[in-house]
Amino acid sequence: MGARRVLVTGTGPLGCVPAELALRSRTGACDPELQRAAELFNPQLVQILSQLNGQYGSNVFIGANTARMHQDFVSDPQAYGFVTSKRACCGQGPFNGLGLCTLASNLCPNRNLYAFWDPFHPSERANRIIVSRFMTGSTEYMTPMNLSTILAMDETT
């Protein structure tokens, strides 16, 4: 229908979000079953996008490996300046992983130190890391190329 580029994101680390930790983990370990689902889905998504690009003869579909982007700071939050990737900044219950962010929720003192804002969503600071991978990340993060490369290519056409 005339779209020049479509960014398609994979799924993040489903088994590592505070909501799933609250339901499935006593220790804060990611749920292996949900992690496996993401590990199965994301490569298949890249394969489908590659097939579609081959069908159209152009790199219309760009894949973002958001599981890998998240996993960087989930597995080593301190390397990215976070105090934790297990506990949400705003929530209730174990790991602040239950309920919505409401007036009744626990609220962290500094949201910039948390990888997750609420039981499911990355914090603003974590989202900035993710967007930087969209823009300049290697093919480990973006397939077949990052958005900076696309913008430079599109500028010449």
Give the pair of three-digit tokens for residue 142: 């973006």
Residues 70-86: tens digit of each pLDDT: 999 999 999 999 999 99
CATH architecture assignment, domain 6-155: 3-Layer(aba) Sandwich (3.40)
Q: Where are the domains of the chain?
A: 6-155
Give the whole-angstrom CA distance, residue 62 versus residue 149.
Answer: 11
Q: Give the pLDDT confidence score for residue 57 in this predicted structure.
A: 87
C-alpha 75/C-alpha 68 separation (Å) is 10
User: What stretches of the chain show up as alpha helix (H) in DSSP?
Assistant: 18-24, 32-56, 66-75, 124-136, 147-155
Structure confidence at residue 1 (pLDDT): 63
pLDDT at residue 100, rounded to an integer: 92
Low-confidence ranges of the chain (pLDDT < 50): none
35-61 pLDDT, tens per residue?
Answer: 999 899 999 999 999 999 999 888 999
Residue 101: which residues within 8 A CB-CB, separation 6 or more?
90, 91, 107, 117, 118
Contact between residue 4 and residue 53 where contact means Cβ atoms under 8 Å apart: no
